[in-house]
């Protein structure tokens, strides 16, 4: 564990005994208004372009073609900004983290720039949830939350979280924006999905508590999110302002259950949701872009953050917003209103708009200056600021940051980081849990696993929605040939349905002795053959039907949301993975340095008998109607013992 980080035992002692916070009070009393406001601001330098005229979306989409735009080190303007503004925390994204050595040098450089301005050491954070949301472009990307719940054992979440915590701490990251405690009770949810453990509050609570324990054991800070719950939405707050009609009592009986359990388990931070709950928060605001009257989202709701979260639920830790450049906020509130309303609601840390270019870089500075001005002219009460800064300082004190001044990069630190992030034990943990999560939902006529014979042909066919997952098949084939006695003359063909090659794919499937169909459901349109996202479902229907006429079976592999299981009732076998990741290159034989999510490779290996699925269903799966929509009828019920 890095120097300056208390062990889990130390943390527990601090929680159980009366703690002397005189050091915190001494630091607080000597801070200027500018320094206090800076502590409440979290910045992120994701991309850099001197010319702000180019659309931010263009910069984001062009990252693969223009990797030099990604911020992997500080330039002089960034360094001067960190020196001047005394920011309290910094959020890293995948583009910032290319390899272990580069990431360590970046985090230490961030701290050094802050120290040049005599700042308090910064909390450095990242979203390392696992599964579909990971920020390190190296190290171990294990199964996500729903897959961990499918193992049926909360210890899986604890073990995987400890791996994430150890790897984050080795590269200078203190805070994990995880676990996700949203209950995925709406299968059409476009943003949570497999990031949730379950559609059951008790299951989410048990696995969330275990995940927190794992992070704490590694000396990392857990951030539970997205309070008070993002699981029952049909819109994504990155794109618009969601609306949930639940009453306060309904939320307390359902969505708030995991958050209450996590608070009792010692969670240090909570991230807010940019969602309207008009039955709970009646205060409204006129949207700055549409002129419509909207309800204050939870991020700006004193009712939610001060009265419910702090008053009724007893949370004494740090409240941080979700990113304030998400459309839910940016499209409806001016920057000045955002500052005034979030701080007034009880927020401790504002996650400022992500820097993509010179324009957004200037904007975060202007927002910080605005906050300082509002405190000095009395629009924001300084005692309110003091309360937040006190909580932030206590958190830094607890994790050994308050007095840390040495952020020197040493060869020993670099070697230790590389060992941890290339750990075979970590990779084995991830692969083992991915295999345990695999859930064989259906197996008619013993279609699963496939038994290969000499000279037989097998087709692995990917839907268009899973096209960028095709490398998982190459990984599985490599492992099968290395670990199984694959008969001579066996042919394994991998194809991707592009839309234009449907007849070719159908012919190959009909002529194959075995067929594995890989489908990825990530939005409602994926079930509908009339949409671009769902165009492959019509082909899969044809393949399954044609093979049945020849008395041949078809195995369907669901590689993300499991709700597509109801879309293919005629498939002979259905295997659920609960997650997969984009992969462009085949990792090294050892797996060292690779961050691929192991769920899909494990599933494809299991299709041929290498690995035995033992997972249990953590969510209920509804039937699909003739309009290709999920219904209220439950086709497969969640296992209550997970």
Question: Would you please indicate which residues are annotated as catalytic (active-site) residues?
Answer: 238, 322
Exposure string for 473-505, b = 16+ CB within 10 A, e = fewer: bbbbbebbeeeeeeeeebebebbbbeeeebeeb
Q: How far apart are CA 583 and CA 580, in angstroms?
A: 9
Q: Distance (Å, rounded) from C-alpha 273 to C-alpha 269?
A: 13
Q: Which residues contact 452 (CB under 8 A, 6 or more apart)?
A: 458, 486, 487, 490, 514, 608
Q: Are 503 and 432 in contact (CB under 8 A)?
A: no
| Cα–Cα distance, 520 to 511 (Å, whole number) | 24
Phi, psi of 180, deg, nearest 5: -80, 120
Cα–Cα dist 30/18, whole Å: 24
Q: Can you tell me the distance from the alpha carbon of 309 to that of 150, in angstroms, rounded to the nearest whole number? A: 30
> What sign results for the dihedral spanned by CA atoms 583, 585, 586, 590?
negative
DSSP string, 513-558: SEEEEEE---SGGGG-TTSSTTHHHHHHHHHHHHHHHTT---EEEE
Give the residues across from 271 on adjacent strands: 320
Count of CB atoms situated within 10 Å of the CB of 7: 13
What does the block give as tokens for 487? 């008969």
Report phi then psi at 135, rounded to 5.
-115, -25
Residues 91 and 126 sit within 8 Å (Cβ to Cβ): yes
Residue length, the chain?
A: 642
Question: How many C-beta atoms lie closer than 10 Å to residue 324's C-beta?
Answer: 24
Sequential DSSP letters for 60-85: HHTTTT-GGGB-SS--HHHHHHHHHH
**DSSP characters over 338-383:** HHHHHHHHT-SBEEPPPB-SHHHHHHHHHHHHHHHHHHHTTSS-HH
Is cis: bond before 226, omega within 30 of 0?
A: yes
**Three-class SS of residue 176?**
strand
Reading phi first (left if > 0) and then psi (alpha if -120 to 50, else beta), residue 378 is in left
Residue whose entry in the numeric block shows the structure tokens 């985090």: 107
Q: How far apart are the C-alpha atoms of 391 and 386, rounded to whole Å?
A: 9
Q: Which helix (H) or strand (E) holds 636?
A: strand 630-636
CB distance 295 to 276 below 8 Å? yes
Structure-token pair, residue 478: 């490599």
Contact (CB, 8 A) for 204 and 258:
yes
555 and 573 in contact (C-beta within 8 Å)? yes
């Amino acid at each position: 564990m890095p120097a300056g980080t208390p062990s889990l035992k130390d943390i527990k002692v601090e929680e159980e005994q009366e703690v002397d916070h005189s050091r915190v009070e001494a630091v607080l009393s000597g801070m200027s208004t500018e320094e206090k406001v800076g502590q409440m601001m979290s910045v992120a330098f994701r991309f850099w372009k001197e010319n702000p005229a180019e659309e931010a979306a263009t910069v984001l989409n062009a990252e693969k073609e223009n990797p030099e735009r990604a911020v992997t080190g500080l330039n002089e303007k960034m360094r001067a900004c960190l020196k001047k503004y005394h920011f309290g925390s910094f959020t890293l994204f995948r583009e910032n983290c290319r390899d272990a050595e580069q990431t360590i040098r970046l985090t230490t450089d961030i701290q050094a720039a802050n120290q040049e301005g005599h700042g308090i050491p910064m909390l450095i954070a990242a979203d390392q949830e696992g599964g579909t949301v990971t920020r390190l472009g190296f190290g171990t990307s294990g199964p996500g939350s729903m897959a961990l719940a499918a193992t049926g054992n909360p210890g899986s979440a604890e073990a995987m979280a400890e791996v994430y915590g150890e790897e984050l701490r080795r590269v200078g990251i203190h805070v994990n924006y995880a676990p996700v405690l949203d209950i995925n009770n709406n299968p059409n949810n476009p943003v949570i999905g497999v990031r949730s453990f379950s559609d059951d509050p008790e299951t989410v609570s048990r696995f969330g508590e275990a995940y927190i324990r794992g992070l704490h054991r590694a000396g990392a800070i857990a951030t539970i999110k997205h309070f008070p719950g993002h699981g029952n939405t049909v819109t994504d707050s990155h794109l618009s302002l969601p609306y949930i009609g639940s009453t306060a009592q309904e939320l307390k009986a359902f969505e708030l259950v995991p958050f209450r359990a996590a608070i009792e388990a010692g969670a240090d931070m909570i991230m807010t949701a940019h969602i309207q709950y008009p039955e709970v928060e009646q205060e409204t605001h006129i949207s700055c872009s549409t002129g419509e009257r909207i309800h204050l989202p939870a991020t700006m709701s004193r009712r939610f953050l001060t009265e419910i979260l702090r008053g009724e639920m007893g949370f004494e830790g740090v409240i941080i917003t979700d990113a304030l450049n998400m459309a839910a906020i940016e499209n409806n509130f001016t920057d000045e209103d955002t500052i005034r309303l979030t701080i007034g609601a009880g927020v401790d840390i504002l996650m400022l708009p992500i820097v993509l270019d010179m324009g957004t870089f200037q904007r975060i500075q202007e927002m910080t200056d605005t906050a300082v001005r509002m405190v000095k002219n009395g629009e924001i009460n300084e005692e309110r600021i003091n309360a937040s800064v006190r909580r932030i300082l206590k958190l830094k004190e607890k994790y050994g940051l308050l007095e840390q001044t040495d952020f020197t990069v040493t060869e020993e630190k670099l070697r230790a980081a590389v060992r941890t992030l290339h750990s075979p034990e970590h990779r084995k943990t991830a692969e083992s849990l991915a295999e345990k999560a695999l859930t064989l939902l259906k197996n008619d006529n013993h279609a699963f696993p496939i038994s290969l014979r000499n000279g037989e042909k097998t087709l692995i066919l990917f839907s268009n929605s899973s096209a960028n997952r095709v490398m998982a098949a190459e990984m599985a084939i490599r492992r099968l040939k290395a670990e199984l006695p694959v008969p001579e003359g066996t042919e394994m063909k991998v194809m991707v349905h592009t839309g234009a090659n449907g007849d070719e794919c159908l012919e190959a499937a009909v002529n194959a002795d075995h067929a594995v169909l890989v489908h990825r459901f990530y939005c409602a349109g994926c079930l509908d053959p009339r949409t671009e996202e769902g165009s492959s479902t019509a082909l899969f229907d044809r393949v399954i039907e044609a093979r049945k006429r020849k008395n041949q079976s078809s195995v369907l592999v669901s590689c993300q949301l499991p709700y597509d299981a109801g879309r293919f009732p005629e498939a002979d076998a259905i295997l659920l993975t609960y997650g997969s990741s984009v992969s462009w290159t085949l990792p090294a034989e050892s797996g060292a340095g690779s961050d691929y999510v192991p769920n899909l490779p494990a599933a494809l290996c299991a299709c041929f008998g290498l690995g035995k699925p033992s997972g249990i269903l953590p969510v209920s799966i509804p039937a699909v109607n003739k309009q290709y929509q999920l219904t209220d009828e439950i086709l497969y019920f969640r296992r209550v013992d997970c």
